[in-house]
């Protein structure tokens, strides 16, 4: 799962600080460290995959 899949782009802080800019994975990780609220959660992982578990269809994948 790439950092871009884990960012909450509708958060106010994202829209204020990072609006419509091109940002690489390292910069995304730094943004998540500085602003943990930007991280989608909960994240469920297994040996082979990880999903954002707030979506019902993703939870069914693990059942």
Q: How confident is the model at residue 36 (pLDDT cuts 50, 70, 90)?
A: very high
6-15: long-range contacts at Cβ-Cβ below 8 A with a sequence spacing of 24 or more?
6/32, 6/39, 6/40, 6/43, 6/52, 7/31, 7/32, 7/38, 7/39, 7/40, 8/37, 8/38, 8/39, 8/40, 11/35, 11/37, 11/38, 13/37, 13/38, 14/38
Q: Please report the pLDDT score of residue 50 as a whole number.
A: 78
Q: Please report the pLDDT score of residue 18 as a whole number.
A: 85
Q: Please report the pLDDT score of residue 42 as a whole number.
A: 83
Q: Please report the pLDDT score of residue 38 as a whole number.
A: 95
Per-residue pLDDT for 62 more than 70? Answer: no
CB-CB neighbours of 52 under 10 Å: 17
Q: How confident is the model at residue 63 (pLDDT cuts 50, 70, 90)?
A: low
């Amino acid at each position: 799962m790439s950092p871009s899949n884990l960012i909450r782009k509708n958060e106010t802080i994202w829209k204020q600080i990072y609006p419509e800019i091109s940002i690489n994975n390292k910069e995304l990780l730094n943004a998540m460290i500085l602003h943990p609220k930007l991280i989608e959660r909960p994240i469920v992982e297994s040996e082979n995959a990880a999903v954002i578990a707030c979506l019902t269809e993703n939870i069914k994948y693990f059942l």
